[in-house]
Every structure is written in C-alpha cells, then in structure tokens.
A and B are shown apart, each in its own frame.
Chain A
Amino acid sequence: MEVFINLLVNGVSTGLLIFLLAAGLTLIFGLMSVLNFAHGGLFVWGAFSGAWIFKETNSFLLAVVGAIVIGMALGWVLERFLIRPVYGNHVRQLLITLGGMLVLSESIKIFWGPNPIRVNLPGWLEGSYQFDGIIIIKYRVFVIVVGLLLYLALWLLLSRTQIGLMIRAGVMDKEMVQALGINVKGLFTFVFLLGAALAALGGALLAPYSGVVFAEMGMQYAILAFIVVIIGGMGSLQGSALASLIVGVAGAFMAYYIPDLSLALNMLLLAMVLLVKPTGLMGEKGSAV
C-alpha cells in the first residue's frame, strides 16, 4: 500500500508538471495550428532562470515569478519574430521551431555553462508528511496543489471569461472570430504568452523537484508533452490534463515494476490511443475546454 500511494503521488506530481508544458502546447496548436517545438526551450529556460534566481536570492517565490517573466519575454520574441512570419506554413513552422528549440537549449550554456546545475529544495518545502507509516514528500504535494490550481484557473479562464470564449471560438473558426471584430493576432499573442508562462513555470517547479537541471531536458520534456497532447487530443485542455496524469502515473508504476519498459511505455500508450481513437482521448474539433 505504501509503495502504491508513493508511486501514485510521484506519478500525479510528474503528470501535472508535464501538464504545465502540454497545456500551452495544446492551446497554441488548437488556436494557431502551430506545432511549437520551441516550447521545450521555454521550459528549460524557466528551469535554469528559476534555479539561478533562487540561488542568488534564496526566494523561491521570486525565482518562480522571475522564470515566468523571462519565459514570457522569450515567448514574445519567438512569436513575434520566428512564428508570426510562418503562420499557415507547417513545414516552415516545424523547421523554425525546431531551430528555436536548439538555439534556446544551446544558449543556456552561454549563461550557465555546459554542466548540469544542482538545485535545492526551498527550506519551507523540505521534508515529508507521514500518515500511518506512509511517507509523502512535501514538495510533491506542493507541485500537485499548484498543478491542480493552475488547471482550475485555466479551465475558469477558458469557460467563464470573455477572452476564454474568444479563444474557444478561435480554436473552431479563426476567420469567423475575425469577422466578429476580434483581433485574432492579438489573441494569438495572448495564448502564446500564456503558454510560454506555463512552460517556464513548469521548468521552475521541476528544477527543485528533480534536483538538477541540464540544457537537454527541454527536448526530453517537450517530447513527453507532445505525446500527452496527441493522446489527449490536440487542442483539448481537459484531454491534456487527463493524458498528463495517465502518462505520469503509468510512467511511475512502470519505472518501479518493469524499469526496462518505462521508455517504451509512452510510445505504447500513444500507439494504443491512436489506434482506438485517432483524434485522441478528448479530441474533437472545437473542444478547447
């Protein structure tokens, strides 16, 4: 039982971290039809800048806020100068965002060197909770709470606000949204910055979670996020949340019981979903929420 609960907590917390990356990715794809491979670059920048600010200031809150601001600034540059000129051209998007991903990952080494950096847990999140002999690490509970709150906030944004209504409509029919007087380019920028902020936040939260950050982790997590987005259904926030939890939990159990298969697991999950429901678990045109 102890092992089961620990694996479940690990899986859910990892899943929610992946969700932070996948949420932006799926919204960007749903609204803008852009497969943004550079998203992983924003995640790794969030991880490094968060770790650096935390080390310099010893304030985890400041580290998270700083990482989000840096992620959004980089996101704005990416959207404005790299992605906006190639809207509607998938081949060029693929090449340019892959290039963006490499540049973002490699530029990490200019600022922080080529070696991985160790990151400590913030003091107030060190330690663990104990229930009936079951030990649960405090930071993982923190990640779960933050992840769930962010999911709720995103759901409220999309389903209860005017801008959320515009985004959902834009996912279905961009042209018609424009014909209603709504500036779709402005909406694109908003969604892109929101996605960048989530990716950077995911990176900043992951740094103390994994204890070490390295430049290549962006690609590693971006692949996981892409798998999640496809399993959940491209453009669906709920689908991404569900798929993140499945991937996270299945990954935790597999790594414990059959570690040799843990790498193949995600591909197996992806293949199974695509065979049974090619649009993904909750993928339907227009199902942004």
Chain B
Amino acid sequence: MSLLKLDNLETYLGQYHILQGVSMSVEEGSITVLFGRNGAGKTTTLRSIMGFNPSTTGSVHYHNQRISGISTHLISRKGIGYVPENQGIFSALTVEETLNLAKAKSTGESEEKMEWMLELFPDLKKFWRKKSGLLSGGQKQMLAIARAYINGDGLLLIDEPSKGLSPIMVEKLMESILKMKEKTTILLVEQNFLMASEIGDYFYIMDDGKIVHEGLMQVLKEDKETCQKYLGIA
C-alpha cells in the first residue's frame, strides 16, 4: 500500500520550472531511493512534499490524505520527519535541547523513540550536553536523523545523508538507516549509488525535473545501461 503518493507535481522556484510533472509513490515499510544528477530536482521534490516549495499543480497524498497546500508545520504533525541536505542543525542548542525540541510536537511515543535513537546512535548520548554545532559531521547527521525520527516516525524524508562524510561514517549511517526501516518508512535522496543500492528496496531516477526511470533496486543494480546513462556509473 502506498504511504506517500505524488501525482503530477509541478513546482517553480522563481522563474525556473523545477519539477515538471513528478509522479511517484512510497510503499509503507520500505526504503525508496530517489537518484539523479545535481540539479535534477531531488531536493525540490522533498521540499515540495514538506510544503517549503509548494507545487503549483499536482498533489501529494499521505495516508490517502491530501497534504499539498497545507502549512509545513501541519504536514510535519501528520508524522513526517525531515532531514534537510544541510542537516539544519541548531548549532547553539545542545544535543539534549535539540531532541527535546523534536519531542515538542512529536507524533507517537516520543520517550520510546528517544531511547531507541540513543541506542542506535550512542554518540548522541555521549555528547548529550554538547552544543550541536561542535559535533563532527557524522554526529550532526545522526542528530538530524534522530531529531526527524523523534518528531515524526511515519515517514522520513532524508536528503543526501552521506554528503561530506567519510566512507566509514557513511557505512555506519547506512546500517542505522537500514535498522530504522524496521519501524518507519524512508524516502532517501542520494547520489552515492553503491551505498544506497545496498539498502534501498525501490528506486526512482530524476532527470531535468522528471522521473525517467523507476522500479525495484535489485533490477537497477543489474541494469548497467540505465546506471551508465542517468547516474554515470560504469
């Protein structure tokens, strides 16, 4: 069953026509990966779902309820957690304050979720009283993911979590994301094909604001031509 459904989404940023009829769906309990080159429209897709860049036409449905056209904070309260590309860390807040803030409008059992996140990312517990701005890149990413999950565990939108991280950190992070699949659904934007193809169930490929390919990840891994054509992977 589709948890999230995008239907013919058209989004403009100023005079630029970024999303040109994007349609896709995310199955409950899955990890769906959105691939594409820089500027293909991946981030704008997530931002349109969250209502930051509202679409001019088309619709977004979550749990069969239309969420396009409503305010971002109301979209979030439906149980959608968001991890932006720049992580959106509140640098002057401690880890504790950041996660408490995530609990403020949390959907579901926030204490349980908090405990699980601290189990999954022990570094956050270790640096509980540390200012978030002083964490390492990987720790900031963990904090951003934990914050999003505590806030809304129905669906997580994660934008390029591997960006700027060391290969070891990327591997650790991906293991954690895979574990999170047990309890939530994930729409992941990634450029790191090797990593994302290991954890994803379904994929979509975007190019010039359109979905140009979609299917099972297992199939994409064997489709050398598509990988070469759209992702530049030999």
A interface with B by C-beta (< 8 Å): 162, 165-166, 168-169, 172-173, 175-184, 284-289
* CB nearest neighbor in A for B82: A179
Chain B 77-120, CB within 8 Å of chain A: the 1/0 string? 10000101000111111000110111011100000000000000
B90 touching A169, Cβ below 8 Å? yes
With contact pairs A166-B101, A169-B101 given, residues A181 and B90 touching in the complex (Cβ less than 8 Å) = no
Contacts of B43-101 to chain A: CB distance below 8 A: 50, 52, 71-74, 76-77, 82, 84, 88-93, 97-98, 100-101
Task: Judge if B36 is at the interface, Cβ distance under 8 Å.
Answer: no
B interface with A by C-beta (< 8 Å): 50, 52, 71-74, 76-77, 82, 84, 88-93, 97-98, 100-102, 104-106, 133, 147-148, 151-152
Nearest 8 pairs between A and B by C-beta?
Answer: A181-B105, A176-B88, A286-B92, A181-B76, A178-B72, A179-B82, A181-B77, A169-B90
User: How far apart are the CA atoms of A176 and B104 in the complex, in Å?
Assistant: 13
B151 touching A181, Cβ below 8 Å? yes
B52 touching A175, Cβ below 8 Å? yes
With contact pairs A172-B91, A285-B91, A286-B92 given, residues A179 and B50 touching in the complex (Cβ less than 8 Å) = yes
B152 touching A165, Cβ below 8 Å? no
Contacts of A285 in B (CB 8 A): 91-92
With contact pairs A178-B72, A179-B82 given, residues A166 and B90 touching in the complex (Cβ less than 8 Å) = no
Contacts of A289 in B (CB 8 A): 92
* CB nearest neighbor in B for A285: B91
A165 touching B92, Cβ below 8 Å? no
Among A175, A176, A287, A289, max chain B CB count under 10 A is at: A176
B152 touching A172, Cβ below 8 Å? no
Contacts of A286 in B (CB 8 A): 90-93, 133
* CB nearest neighbor in B for A169: B90
A166 touching B104, Cβ below 8 Å? yes
Contacts of A176 in B (CB 8 A): 84, 88, 90
Q: A165-B101, A180-B102 are in contact. List 11 more A-B contacts (CB 8 A).
A: A165-B93, A165-B97, A165-B100, A172-B91, A177-B101, A178-B52, A180-B104, A180-B147, A182-B104, A286-B90, A289-B92
A-B residue pairs in contact (CB < 8 Å), sample of 5: A173-B90, A176-B88, A180-B104, A180-B151, A181-B152
User: How far apart are the CA atoms of A175 and B46 in the complex, in Å?
Assistant: 13
